[in-house]
Structure 1
């Protein structure tokens, strides 16, 4: 009701014009099912319950700007609308439009405080063994080929194929002859893919091709055999788990195991805010949280909603992201940084990085025994770290070498620079300004430091 009074709704029908055809009879207002989807999520309603609330509840009618005697719409409209909204990654656009109106109304502001966390999303797919996966992938590809190119199946499918792939695969926990059946399914899949030209392959056939690459290989004699871990079988986080959902993956977080996705939710959390508003939602494969953080910052920048302080848990934090967030987006990333993984830190013995003396002015590092490093490396690929390397002639005769390094090479110390080099992360000034600096006897480094 507050949104209707002050914003006249979160969306207008004109915001959805590009998603509906120009011809045909007029349909329902697309802004209405968009608003109902939000209310349905907030109140945890099914599609039937949401449609019934639109028909009967006065607060729903007020939020949708409907007449009191409006009969509403059928519950299947919500499903069709969500299907239309999920095509071509369109779901982010309504959120961006809503955030624009919220920002203009003063409910959310840039450079405030926001927080991000992730949770698991289960895929709508049955858990399959490798044999069940290949058999079901072949059956799904045959179903698709029967509608796209039925003439190709005339010479391929026989009575044995009909027995193997006529119905969804359901195998006992201990199936008979699993290796033989897996090889047979792989041979059938290979024959099917050879008959299907690339331009006639749909998403099910493409899923079958990827599953074959992940689970089978051709030996030197041209024989198809199942892959093993030594034969290049990808890890569980990379393997397709269902021919009907190629993006879902298996994941392990601590003691939690699931098949599906991760959803990263970002919301405002200012102390003086009346409400907390979701500013970004990202659904990704179950990868590391650090891989999702740059995309979150880019989308918030496009919406002009970058926070000043971004609160996250330890999974989103790394030294590189702390530096990149502050440098590229002026965002202070607040979270727990993982402890050093060096054996000296784990075993609480030996010389750690804190035992070395770093001289930034002379660009050298001194070890506890008084030796100074030979090389000072500031490679772009290592940013924001700097590396100082010692020479083997310094480390090999050292009596404390076992407490310093266990490798065959000399000790290398990685650390964060106390100040950035003169040429880093700053655009080169125009030629005219360079001449001005020269006339004032100002070096490039002095200009950069004064500007910063």
Structure 2
């Protein structure tokens, strides 16, 4: 009622001119359909229930500015409208228009307080086993070829192929001969891809063929004898962040957070949270399941474009890092408020010893001074370690140092410690000074411009 009385609706039909052709049959008001879609989501209604609410409920008719005897519309119209809404980031455009009108009405303002949090989004796909994934991807690629280039399948598809890929794949929990069927599916996929490359060289493949190509790379390899076989654990499998989970959604990924696992995406929602005012969503970002901190620069960029940057931004520990705090303050004058990531260093757990902040870092001279006064002798800015710099101290200084055990857990002279796994790129929580190499200290620092 507030939106209808003060704004005459969040959207007008003129905002949707680019969505529809100039000629054709008369259509329903797209501004009304957009409003119905919002109310449908808020009340968790199906398409049939939403269409019935437009026909029967007075509050819906008031929000849509309809006459009381208006018959409404058929429920299938909502599905058609969502298909248009899903194209070319149109949902973001509608959010921009709505926020601009809410800002003019004084319901939302810049330089207030906002908060951001993420939640999981499940993809509209089935969770498939490895065998089901390969079989279903081959079937999807065959159907795509049958629609777009049927000549590819001539002389290739026979009755055996029809039995294997003629219907949607749904296997029991313990299918018969899974290893043999997986090898056969891999051989069929390789033959199909070779046929496509031979008959249509240089032509970009469709989404199903591209999914088949990626899945073949991820789950199969050619051994030293030239034979195609499924990858085993010893051969190395791609990480879950890159592994395809369905041929029908190439961006959905398997993710585990705490005790929750899902195949899909992350939704980052930002809303105002000033005291004494209505909370209004100012940004929604759907991303692949990566660290929350990856989405934060994009959130600030969109809020700046909408002229709705907050003075204080409340986030949880997934969004916090020294780099992001510094960037938000320097680039946007935003004060980030959130818990600091847990320090898992040995010094933190034992309550003594030297951590990274106890070392003096001089970026101009490209050297680091340890708490005992020794200066590093090696400064490497390796491209593979970007944006990190690796600094090593000479073992002649660290070996006889009486306080060596306070800053590194490495062995004595002549002993090599266990190898340390490579660190993932991106902001890292504070940790111990670094691994020891032949009783020498190794520090990993962020390069200049990434103050941490």
Question: Is the shorter-chain TM-score for this pair beyond 0.5, marking a shared fold?
Answer: yes
Distance in 1 separating the partners of 2:95 and 2:297 = 19
Distance in 2 separating the partners of 1:280 and 1:291 = 15
Give the structure 2 partner of residue 269 of structure 1: 273
C-alpha RMSD of the superposition: 3.0
Give the structure 1 partner of residue 220 of structure 2: 216
390-399 or 9-18: bigger deviation: 390-399
Give the structure 2 partner of residue 438 of structure 1: none
Give the structure 2 partner of residue 373 of structure 1: 375
Give the structure 2 partner of residue 86 of structure 1: 86
Aligned residue pairs total 418
Shift of 1:393: 3.6
Distance in 2 separating the partners of 1:231 and 1:118 = 35
Alpha-carbon spacing, 1:241–1:416, altered in 2? closer, same or farther (3 Å): closer
Distance in 1 separating the partners of 2:223 and 2:367 = 53
The answer as to whether partners of 2:382 and 2:389 remain within 8 angstroms in 1 is no
Q: Where in structure 2 are the equivalents of 1:335-346 lying within 5 Å?
A: 335-346=338-349
The answer as to whether partners of 1:267 and 1:279 remain within 8 angstroms in 2 is yes
Shift of 1:396: 2.5
Q: Where in structure 2 are the equivalents of 1:271-350 lying within 5 Å?
A: 271-273=275-277, 275-350=278-353
Unaligned runs of 5+ in 1: 426-452
Unaligned runs of 5+ in 2: 411-435
166-175 or 242-251: bigger deviation: 166-175
Give the structure 1 partner of residue 112 of structure 2: 112
The answer as to whether partners of 2:255 and 2:263 remain within 8 angstroms in 1 is yes
Task: Provide Cα deviations, 1:67-86, integer angstroms capped at 9, x if missing partner.
Answer: 22221111111111111110
Alpha-carbon spacing, 1:383–1:173, altered in 2? closer, same or farther (3 Å): closer
* Structure 2 SS opposite 1:260: strand
Alpha-carbon spacing, 1:364–1:164, altered in 2? closer, same or farther (3 Å): closer
Distance in 1 separating the partners of 2:323 and 2:301 = 16
Distance in 2 separating the partners of 1:187 and 1:266 = 48
The answer as to whether partners of 1:320 and 1:384 remain within 8 angstroms in 2 is no
Shift of 1:372: 4.2
Give the structure 2 partner of residue 411 of structure 1: 441
Task: Provide Cα deviations, 1:114-150, integer angstroms capped at 9, x if missing partner.
Answer: 1111111111111111111000111111122222222
Using structure 2 for the length normalisation, give the TM-score. 0.84
The answer as to whether partners of 2:253 and 2:265 remain within 8 angstroms in 1 is yes
* Candidates 383, 398, 402, aligned match of 2:405: 402
Alpha-carbon spacing, 1:287–1:364, altered in 2? closer, same or farther (3 Å): closer
The answer as to whether partners of 1:186 and 1:212 remain within 8 angstroms in 2 is yes
Shift of 1:187: 0.8
Using structure 1 for the length normalisation, give the TM-score. 0.84
Distance in 1 separating the partners of 2:350 and 2:296 = 32
